Amino acid sequence: MTHWASLVVFAILVPALIILWGLPDRTADAWAWWIVPDASAIFLGAGYGAGAYFFLRTFLGRQWHPSAAGVLGAAFFAGLMLIATLIHWDKFNHGDAPLVGALVFYGWVGVYIVSPFVVMGLWCLNRRTDSGQPAPSEPIVPQRARLVGVGALAAAAVFLLSPQTMIDAWGWRLTPLTARVIGCLTAQVAVGALWLSVDRRWSAWRLIVQTYFVATALLLVGAARARGTTSTAGAR
């Protein structure tokens, strides 16, 4: 079940990557809300791109535990995104958009109503299958490497609980909704990292580390592309 669910999530995330990261100036017509400036769309698109990589590898993988931390992080991400959607409901297009934008809106609502519970349910079901014990002679992650995530949790808390603080300090124009979306992505990293902080197995870390590399690569390339595109007209 997790196998095929991962493929479904991958299939959902790829169009999000294409629209947000690849065509960030088209969100007025092709996304659930108009995201301005491009940098904010690229930021979210980078997160979805890394998620697509993670869920494709989870689909292709044969063991559960390499994906456990990422699936837990995704469940928290989806739950926080549902809350952000409800808080900022008036910022969405409500289907009043060209076909793609309307489809994305209805897809967004459906995905974030269902996915927090389904993904968390999959994590709970699969957790029982993992003994948590390292295989013989498996590399063990050193203690000092387990601190990743504490800083991310603190940053996520500020984004989510006091978005105006980040809006005032950020390098490009954020809105309360885009600030909270960045907070959701940051919280996802924090939750995954904190879960890994109690797992010594390198096999539990490897895919998550690779996914982090994909996310930061997309983010940095995207940030370079977005330089100078700081228009704020119509920002939501």
From 7, 29, 202, 229, residue interacting with another protein (rule: CB under 8 A): 202
**Integer Cα distance of 200 and 39 in angstroms:** 36
Nearer residue to another protein within complex by CB, 108 or 172 = 172
Does residue 213 belong to the site contacting another protein (CB under 8 A)? yes
Nearer residue to another protein within complex by CB, 107 or 176 = 176
Does residue 205 belong to the site contacting another protein (CB under 8 A)? yes
Nearer residue to another protein within complex by CB, 73 or 116 = 73
Q: Is 112 within 8 Å of 81 (Cβ atoms)? A: yes
Q: Residue 39: name the closest of 144, 186, 173, 181 by CA.
A: 173
Does residue 145 belong to the site contacting another protein (CB under 8 A)? yes
Q: Which residues contact 126 (CB under 8 A, 6 or more apart)?
A: 2, 64, 68, 71
Length of the chain: 236
Q: Is 52 within 8 Å of 17 (Cβ atoms)? A: yes
Q: Residue 166: name the closest of 186, 192, 193, 150 by CA.
A: 186
Stretch that binds another protein, among 73-81, 82-90, 93-101, 213-221 (CB under 8 A): 213-221
From 86, 99, 169, 233, residue interacting with another protein (rule: CB under 8 A): 169
**One-letter amino acid for residue 214 of the chain:** V
Q: Which residues contact 90 (CB under 8 A, 6 or more apart)?
A: none
Nearer residue to another protein within complex by CB, 90 or 168 = 168
Helix (H, G, I), strand (E, B) or coil at 63: coil
**Residues 214 to 233 in contact with another protein, rule: CB under 8 A:** 216, 219-220, 223
Stretch that binds another protein, among 8-16, 17-25, 67-75, 134-142 (CB under 8 A): 134-142
Nearer residue to another protein within complex by CB, 90 or 143 = 143
**Integer Cα distance of 223 and 196 in angstroms:** 28
From 95, 121, 139, 234, residue interacting with another protein (rule: CB under 8 A): 139
Question: Where along the sequence are the contacts to another protein (CB under 8 A)?
Answer: 137-139, 141-142, 145, 148, 151-152, 155, 166, 169-172, 202, 205-206, 209, 212-213, 216, 219-220, 223
